Structure 1
Amino acid sequence: MEKVRIGIIGLGNMGTGHANYLIKQEVKGAELSAICEPRPDRQQWAKENLGDNVQIFDDLDKFLSSGTIDAVLIATPHYDHPEVAIKAFNNGLHVLCEKPAGVYTKSVRQMNEAAKASGKVFSMMYNQRTNRLYKKLKDLVSSGELGEIRRTNWIITNWYRSQSYYNSGGWRATWAGEGGGVLINQDPHQLDLWQWTIDMMPKRVRAFCYFGKHRDIEVEDDVTAFVEYENGATGLFVTTTGEAPGTNRFELSGDRGKIVIEDGKLTFWRLRVSEKEFNETFTGGFGQPECWKCEIPVEGKETGHLGITQNFVDAILHGTPLVAPGEEGIKGLMLSNAMLLSTWTDNWVDLPIDEDLFYEHLQNKIANSKVKKDAGYKTLEVKGTH
């Protein structure tokens, strides 16, 4: 194979963005060969902007079995991601899926199993993994510079959304339409990076989600979650769409100091000796380890969505390791599912979660949602950016 023929499923804002860079041939070794989109207006846009060589389908099954594509890029509503991906794998296609991996881990686990059975390349559109700040943080943690992790804190409250934003689509901020609020819509990248940078998932979660606290919506718009890790470390995740101005601050504390990412900078307060060593040897009463404030140089370029797509194509053509393996999409979703389940049960939730229990609670929410869910791709509106 010299080129990967890619078909995009869904031409909302995200799908349209992917189509634009693919049609311009900005991804080496890839060509946009087909689109699957049920809405006539978006089909017309594709005809006018993508050229005669891009075939347009309004039926998913015909699209997947057409023989015109080698891989799909899924940019449909959240609920559809696992079902569409499984169908693609069953048709012998490689899959690149927009975030989140899905709405509930039970369906995403089935997607992962289908991916493994197919032997095809499977990647998630976790474009923030190309962000040089978080890449550098992961490098510092994995190389041992920070020592053993003691605490993780992420305050991510700069997701301000007005009531008019939520009113712009009947599916927005509903259990049936989107499957959740700030955790599933705005935070998937942070939830992924939270565990990816330290290569560690919590062992249990206690969360407090507030539903429609700041806006007239039925899903969560304010969350505070406390987590515990196997090594004794603890963590805090705070998020909302109702604060202005907001904060985006990720802080890691370890045996050898503290690292903070905020305002586009990575700062390392590095201890000259580890806290453990200092504590074992210091006899002076009041005192603490000598600390150096280091502004860490961060090199490289953030390649974003295009970079993840290029990596996906390179993995197909050349066996290049994936930046964001698809099966890892379940991790961030596990965290958001755990936060909701903890709130619904008013209790601690162990990880991995009880997937059947979460599904049961979610179905109750869907049954009472303002909009009624239809799982069929052709009847679901392809949503835009979040």
Structure 2
Amino acid sequence: MQRVRIGIVGLGNMGTGHAKYLIEGQVSGGVLAAVCDVRPERLDQAKAEWGDGVKRFDSPEAMFRSGEVDGVIICTPHYEHPKQAIEAFAHDLHVLVEKPAGVYTKQVREMNEAAAGSGKIYGIMYNQRTNPLYRKLKELIASGELGEIRRTNWIITNWYRSQSYYNSGGWRATWAGEGGGVLINQDPHQLDLWQWTTGLMPKRIRAFCQFGKHRDIEVENDVTAYVEYENGASGVFVTSTHEAPGTNRFEISGDRGKIVIENDQMTFWRLREPESEFNKRNTESFAQPEVWKFEIPITPGGAEHLHITRNWTQAILKGTPLIAPGEEGIKGLTISNAMLLSTWTDGWVDLPIDEELFCAKLQEQIERSKAANAANAQPSAR
């Protein structure tokens, strides 16, 4: 294969953005061959902008069986991602799915199984993995510079969304339309980076989600969660969409010090010796380990969405390792599902979660959803 003929499923904001850089030739070895959308006006606009060289389809199924594409980028509503990816794999196509991988882990697990059985290249649009700050953090932790992790703390409250934003679409901030709020819409990148950079998944979670706080919406927009890890470490995750000004601060404490990412900078307070060793030899009541403060230099770069698409294309053509394998999309989703389930059951949730119980609780929300009541059909978590 000399080039990858790429099809885009869904021409909303994200799908259109991916189409533009493909049309501009910014992906070596990749060409925009086709697009599909259920809205005739979007297909008419695609023809006006890109001409007849880009094939147009009114359904994903028609595109998948057309023979016009080798791989697809799925940019449709959250509930549709797994179903459409599974069908694409069945048609022997490579898949790059937008975040989140899906709404609930049961459907994403089925997508992962289909991908494994297909032998095709399967990626997810976790574009923040290309951010030099988080790549450096992952490198430092993996190298042992921070020592064993003892605590993680991420405050990510700068996702401000006004009521006007929520009013802009009847599907927004509804259980039937989006499948959740800040955790499924704004935070998938942070939930991915949290476990990707540290290499740790929680063993259990206790979360407190608040629904429609200071906003007229039905889904969660304010979350405080506490997690525990197998190695004895703990973590806190705080997020919201109603605070102004918000905060984005990720702090990781380890046996050899503390790293903080805030305001696009990384600071490392490094202990001269591991705290565990200092504690063993110290005989003074109020002594503390000697600490050195470093501003970690970060190499500019990271083309985000474009970088991920380039990487996926090269994985198809040359076997280049994926930055964001699609199978890993279930990890951050597991954390967000656990946070909601903890709130709905008012208790601790162990990982892996009870997927059937989560689906049942989600279905209860869907059946009461404004979007479901307003539509002729509604998605199902069964």
2:378 & 2:85 partners in 1: Cα distance? Answer: 14
The equivalent residue for 1:113 is 113
The answer on 1:216 being equivalent to 2:219 is no
Partner of 1:241: 241
User: What stretches of structure 1 of length at least 5 have no aligned partner?
Assistant: 377-386
Name 1:288's counterpart in structure 2.
288
Aligned residue runs from structure 1 range 101-180, under 5 A: 101-180=101-180
Contact 2:160–2:241 (CA<8 Å) still a contact in 1? yes
2:364 alignment counterpart: 364
How many residue pairs match? The answer is 376
Query: Does structure 2 conserve the Cα–Cα contact (< 8 Å) formed by 1:78 and 1:179?
Result: yes
Hey, what's the Cα distance between the residues in 1 that align with 2:308 and 2:24? 16
Range 48-57 or range 130-139, more displaced: 48-57
The one-character-per-residue Cα deviations of 1:263-314 (angstroms, maximum 9, x if unpaired) are: 0000000000000000000111111110000001111411110000000000
CA distance in 2, matches of 1:277, 1:76: 52
In the other structure, the counterpart of 1:381 is none
1:375 deviation in Å?
6.3
Segments ≥4 residues shifted beyond 2 Å: 373-376
Between the aligned partners of 2:300 and 2:264, the Cα distance in structure 1 is 14
Give percent identity, aligned residues only.
Answer: 69
Matches within 5 A, 1:232-381: 232-372=232-372, 374=377
SS of the residue 2:103 aligns to: coil
Given that 1:79 and 1:375 are in contact with CA atoms closer than 8 Å, whether structure 2 keeps it comes out as no
Q: CA deviation at 1:184?
A: 0.3
- What per-residue deviation string (whole Å, max 9, x for no partner) do you get for residues 199-228 of structure 1? 110000000000011200000010000000
State the distance in 1 between where 2:13 and 2:176 align. Answer: 21
Q: 2:84 corresponds to which letter in structure 1?
A: V
SS in 1 for 2:159: coil
Give the match for residue 74 of structure 1: 74
Q: Note the aligned Cα RMSD (angstroms).
A: 0.8
1:22 counterpart SS class: helix
Give the AA of the match of 1:125: M
CA displacement, residues 7-55 of structure 1 (integer Å, 9 cap, x when unaligned): 0000000000000000111000000000011101211110011222100
Equivalent residue letter for 2:7? G
Q: For residues 292 and 207 of structure 2, what CA distance do their matches in structure 1 show?
A: 35
Task: Tell me if the contact between 2:83 and 2:111 (Cα under 8 Å) persists in the aligned partners.
Answer: yes
User: Contact between 1:342 and 1:348, CA under 8 Å: does it hold in 2?
Assistant: yes
> 2:176–2:371: 8 Å Cα contact kept in structure 1?
yes
CA distance in structure 1 between the aligned counterparts of 2:285 and 2:231, rounded to whole angstroms: 28
Q: Which residue of 1 aligns with 2:9?
A: 9
Say whether residues 1:200 and 2:200 are aligned partners.
Answer: yes
Residue 42 (structure 1) aligns with: 42
Aligned equivalents of 1:51, 1:19: Cα separation in 2: 13
Aligned twin of 1:382: none
Question: Does the CA contact (< 8 Å) of 1:80 and 1:375 recur in 2?
Answer: no
1:29 corresponds to: 29
**Does the aligned pair in 2 maintain the 1:33–1:68 contact within 8 Å?**
yes
Give me the whole-angstrom Cα distance separating, in 1, the residues matched to 2:230 and 2:378: 38
Q: Distance in 2 between matches of 1:55 and 1:97?
A: 20
SS at match of 1:68: coil
- Aligned 1:84-95 pairs, distance under 5 A: 84-95=84-95
Could you report, residue by residue, the CA deviation over 1:168-227 in whole angstroms, capped at 9, with x for unpaired residues? 100000000000000000000000000000111000000000001120000001000000
- Judge conservation of contact 2:176–2:378 (CA < 8 Å) in 1: no
Cα deviation, 1:224-283, whole Å, max 9, x if unaligned, reads 000000000000000000100000000000000000000000000000000000000011
TM-score by length of structure 1 reads 0.96
**Counterpart amino acid of residue 308 in structure 2:** I
Q: Distance in 1 between matches of 2:281 and 2:202?
A: 31
SS at match of 1:197: helix
Please state whether the residue corresponding to 2:84 is helix, strand or coil: helix
Give distance in 2, aligned partners of 1:296 and 1:165.
37
Contact 2:11 2:37 in 1 (8 A): yes
Counterpart of 1:380 in structure 2 is none
